[in-house]
Chain A
Amino acid sequence: MKFGVVVFPGSNCDLDAYHVIRDVLKKPVEYLWHQEESVSGFDCLVLPGGFSYGDYLRCGAIARFSPVMSAVVEMASRGGLVLGICNGFQILLEAGLLPGALYRNTSLQFRCQFTHLVTENRSTPFTGLLEPGRVLKIPIAHGEGNYCVDPETLRDMQERGQIVFRYATPEGETTPEANPNGSMWNIAGVCNERKNVLGLMPHPERAGEAALGSTDGLVIFQSIIRHWEDSR
């Protein structure tokens, strides 16, 4: 199984994603420059965090018109796995691959801290190895992670299992205090209807080694690998 890490001008978590896939998970991975027009040969694409195009206009608004994005959209439409982390999540929303939008945190602060996540849907390609009730400790680092969607769409997403991760206390309670950015319904990560595209604000690639304070991010990558192996 081969991963691709898409690099936009201003991406800054591309090395972290590459490192965790190659050195921790021991899987083949290559960088994909945003000018690439083909993503053939890749089984899972990671859109990493950062500040693509300086976050000018809106986070992700310009990156979504990068040449590589047509190929990303095409791969997603064929059921290929796409994971957007932080700025990558914002790009997937701007590209229309996921519903909703992310805007300024209600606190107006850039939040760089550990968060705890509960998993609402364990039957996606990204969450298949999660035990019921497990709370993940994964860091965030963003100023614009306040998830917003119209109430009807939110209801549809809840019914279809498109809400994947929610901010919670270490005990797994989704309280307002556990919400670091004001997101509706404590939403930290969502997927598309088909469940092959996931976007999340927390950084699983920064929680892959004990020295970093948590290894809870690995289970997301391991789930992807298991899903891919099972679907062979």
Chain B
Amino acid sequence: MWKATIKVMLKKSVLDPQGQAVQKALHALGYQNVPDVRIGKYLEVKVALADRESAAAQVREMCERLLANMVIEDYTFELTEA
């Protein structure tokens, strides 16, 4: 059994309006030294497979088919034994 911790972020080239709003709020709180905020999604997905390579392949496939929209988002993930 593996646990994939997956991060889905808007691509660098795509404007992140939520990140910008949060950055402005941080500036309003006095944190002027925050030049950038990006907001994404964090997912934990368990995969019942013994072999690490197969689990990684399946997580990649699931990210590209459903968990991320590859037109506007990128994903990264880590696998730990669960």
Contact = CB atoms under 8 A, between A and B. Distances in A.
Given A57-B66, A61-B66, A104 B71 contact: no
B66 A103 contact: no
A207 B67 CA distance: 35
B18 A104 contact: yes
B72 interface: yes
Given A104-B17, A108-B21, A148 B72 contact: yes
Contacts, number: 35
A58 interface: yes
Contact of A106 (B10, B15, B72): B15
A105 B66 contact: no
Contacts of A149: 71
Given A57-B66, A57-B67, A61-B66, A101 B17 contact: no
B15 A101 contact: no
Contact of B72 (A62, A101, A105, A108): A101
Nearest to B14: A148
B71 A101 contact: yes
Contacts of A182: 15, 17
Interface in A87-127: 93-94, 99-101, 103-108
B18 A61 contact: no
B69 interface: yes
22 contacts: A57-B67, A61-B69, A62-B66, A65-B66, A93-B71, A94-B69, A99-B71, A101-B72, A103-B14, A104-B17, A104-B18, A105-B17, A106-B15, A106-B17, A107-B17, A108-B18, A108-B21, A146-B17, A148-B14, A150-B13, A150-B71, A182-B15
